[in-house]
Amino acid sequence: MRDRTHESTIWFEVELSKDNYAEYEFDILAHFEYQPEEKEVRYYADGSGYPGCAAEINVYDIECIETECPIPFHELLDNKKYSEIIYDRVENNIWDELERNADYYADYR
């Protein structure tokens, strides 16, 4: 796996106080590892094979570059509810970027 970074913007609702929600935009920088897909090899010369593996990403750090949200980003990451939303949206943005630029990432190792 190789280390990569990805910049994108995510939006989600934040509970500011009881029954008071607001949607905020977060410009983030994600640090992740990327392992490209490895194709199946049915048979090597010796009769063995390799089942291959799907492409994989592992987001290991997310930084907030800019937001107007009054709650510190690290507190949102410490909250399980928001952490799941943040990581899910960031991973989806990364997969979208990988699909849009498949030729670039295809041979990246």
Tens digit of each residue's pLDDT (9 = 90 or more) over 20-36: 899 999 999 999 998 88
Tens digit of each residue's pLDDT (9 = 90 or more) over 5-61: 888 888 888 888 888 899 999 999 999 998 888 888 887 778 788 888 888 899 999
Once rounded to an integer, what is the mean pLDDT over residues 56-82?
Answer: 93
Q: Which residue type does 9 have?
A: T
Q: What is the pTM of this model?
A: 0.77
Residue in 56, 60, 57, 74 with CA at minimum distance from that of residue 30: 60
Give the start-to-end residue ranges of the domains of the chain.
2-106
Exposed, middle or buried: residue 3 (CB in 10 Å: 0-12, 13-18, 19+)? exposed
Once rounded to an integer, what is the mean pLDDT over residues 63-85?
Answer: 93
**Residue 107 scores a pLDDT above 50:** yes
